[in-house]
Every structure is written in structure tokens, then in C-alpha cells.
Amino acid sequence: MIKILMVGDIVGKSGRKATQKLVPLLRERENLDYVIANAENVAGGVGATPETLTEILEAGVNVVTLGNHVWQKKEIIPYLEKEGSWALRPANYPAGVPGTGQGVFPIVKDKGKVKVGITTLCGRIFMEPLDSPFTVGEQVVKALRAETPVVIVDFHAEATSEKVAFGWAMDGKVSAVLGTHTHVQTADERILPGGTAYITDVGMTGPTDGVIGMDKETILHRFYTSMPARFEAASGPARLCGVILEIEETTGRAISIRRICLDPENP
């Protein structure tokens, strides 16, 4: 059995600090074998930079997934081209864009090695009109499963219906479908009949005194006036949300999925 932590969307400086404090603690307390984190909002709440991704990796995260804000910081583009093996942009962007959307990574387990395949895909409902995550997902998963039965999908999508449908489409083909993007942890974690762990959204790692991580006064002004405003990450207390998976390494079937939501001051 292997044990994997998926950290929900890390938002801004407070999210990075929560990750830096809690991931090492969880690695030891939960005896984790691997850590994945969605890091598309680590830099000021929108996008990622080489410096902020380095902070996440130094905190004990093994692989970062990105989403629809992947191109917000232009300095990330050459970085993805250089270090694309562990920083994954959505796989259903058109062919030829920088970086990679999938990878197979070794997990040192006991005295042998287990591999985990990881990909991230963006939904299309209320989002950019990318290639279909369903058809691209089928192709990517087939390639990953040729190397390992353990496959984790970060499905970065807005609509609950699209996420649920994607979970059913992938049931029995992957170890887990883990929803991100909406920043609010859902209480629908389950093991689907084919052995795939599923949750609509793993939640957010970031400031609690805001609106899904953003400064609440700016967001409220936008709602009241409909005037454009520059969104910035909220400050103040933060928490880490995510899920812990237990997976049978020879078959790739999920054994369990458990939600976590921790306060760095009282973990």
C-alpha cells in the first residue's frame, strides 16, 4: 500500500506558509510516501513563479499541478519548459504549448520502487474552450497506465456536474480523480465501484478571512458595483485542505480517501 497526500489549491503567501509548516508534519505523522499539490495560485493568489514553486517543493511537495491560471506570470513559461517533469500544466491545452501535462514519477517504497502517474486536466464548462478533458484524459491515462497502475488525476474544473461525470468516466481506469479550482472542500469523497477514489473538490490551502482566498473587500466591491478590480490574495490566518489516499500499488485500486483540513496553529 502507498499513501499519498493531495494538497488543495495553494493561495498566496499565507498558503505557502501553511504548506511549509504542515506538509513536513503530515509526512511524519501520516507516514506519507508522496505529496502532490495544486500550485496554480501560489504567487499573489493568481499564477505561479519559479521562486514560489521552489518554496513549495522545498516544503516537501514532490509534484505540483497547475490549472487555468498557468500563464498568468510570464516568467513561468521558460521554467515549465525546463522543469516540466515535475511541474505539470493542464494536459488538454493544444499541442505545442510550453511544458507537459503528465508524468510518471518513482516512489521509493521499502527497498523497491513504485511509480505513480500524474496528470492534470481543465474542465470546459464556464472555463476556456480547451480540448476535451474526456478524450484527452483517455489518451493520457492509457499512456500512464502502460508504465504504472497507480494514476492520479487532478481535474481542475468549475462545474460540479462536469467533475462528477469525469469521475464516472475514469472509474476503474485511474486510482483517483481529485477535483480542484473551486477552493471549497466538498464532503462527497468516496471509492467508486471500479476502485477509483473521487472527490469533487479537495479544498483550498490559504487564507480563511477572504472569498476563496481573495481579499474580501475587493470582491465585495466588485459584487456591489460590477466595476473591474484587481484581485489580491487575502492575508491573515490560513489552513491546509486536501485528501490522503491509500492505494494498492500492484493494482492501482484505491483503498481509502480521507479529507483533511488543518490549522497551522493547531494541527
Q: Which residue carries 500492484 as its cell? A: 250
Structural domain contains residue 169: yes
In this prediction, residue 79 carries a pLDDT of 82
In sequence order, the 6+-apart residues with CB closer than 8 A to the CB of 83 are none
40: confidence class by pLDDT, cuts 50, 70, 90: very high
Tens digit of each residue's pLDDT (9 = 90 or more) over 141-159? 999 999 999 999 999 999 9
| More reliable by pLDDT, 62 or 235 | 62
10 Å CB burial of residue 226 (0-12, 13-18, 19+) is exposed
Q: How far is CA 15 from CA 114, 241, 264, in A?
A: 30, 10, 10
For β-strands 197-199 and 204-207, DSSP reports them as unpaired
Residue 254 β-bridge partners = 247
- The catalytic site residues sit at 69
Please report whether residue 162 resides in a domain. yes
Rounded Cα distance, 195 and 214, in Å: 36
C-alpha R_g of the chain? 17
pLDDT digits (tens, 9 = 90+) for 165-210: 999 999 999 999 999 999 999 999 999 999 999 999 999 999 999 9
Question: Which residue range(s) make up the domain with 50?
Answer: 2-262
Q: What pLDDT, on the 0 to 100 scale, is given for residue 84?
A: 59
On whether the CB atoms of residues 241 and 204 are closer than 8 A, the answer is yes
| 157, HSE (Cβ side, Cα atoms, 13 Å) | 29
* Beta carbons of 28 and 2 less than 8 angstroms apart: no
| Residue 135 confidence (pLDDT) | 98
Task: Give pLDDT tens digits for 218-263.
Answer: 989 999 999 988 888 888 889 999 999 999 999 999 999 999 999 9
β-pairing, 2-7 vs 34-38, is parallel
Query: For the chain, how many structural domains are there in total?
Result: 1
pTM: 0.95
- Domain membership flag for residue 74: yes
Q: How confident is the model at residue 111 (pLDDT cuts 50, 70, 90)?
A: low
CATH code assigned at 109: 3.60.21.10
Question: Quick one: pLDDT at residue 214?
Answer: 87
Residue 232: per-residue pLDDT: 85
Q: Is 70 left (phi over 0), alpha (psi -120 to 50) or beta?
A: alpha
Tell me what pLDDT residue 261 has.
Answer: 97
In a domain, 267, yes or no: no
b or e along 185-218 (b: 16 or more beta carbons within 10 Å of the residue's beta carbon)?
Answer: beeebebbeebbbbbbbbbbbbbeebbbbbbeee
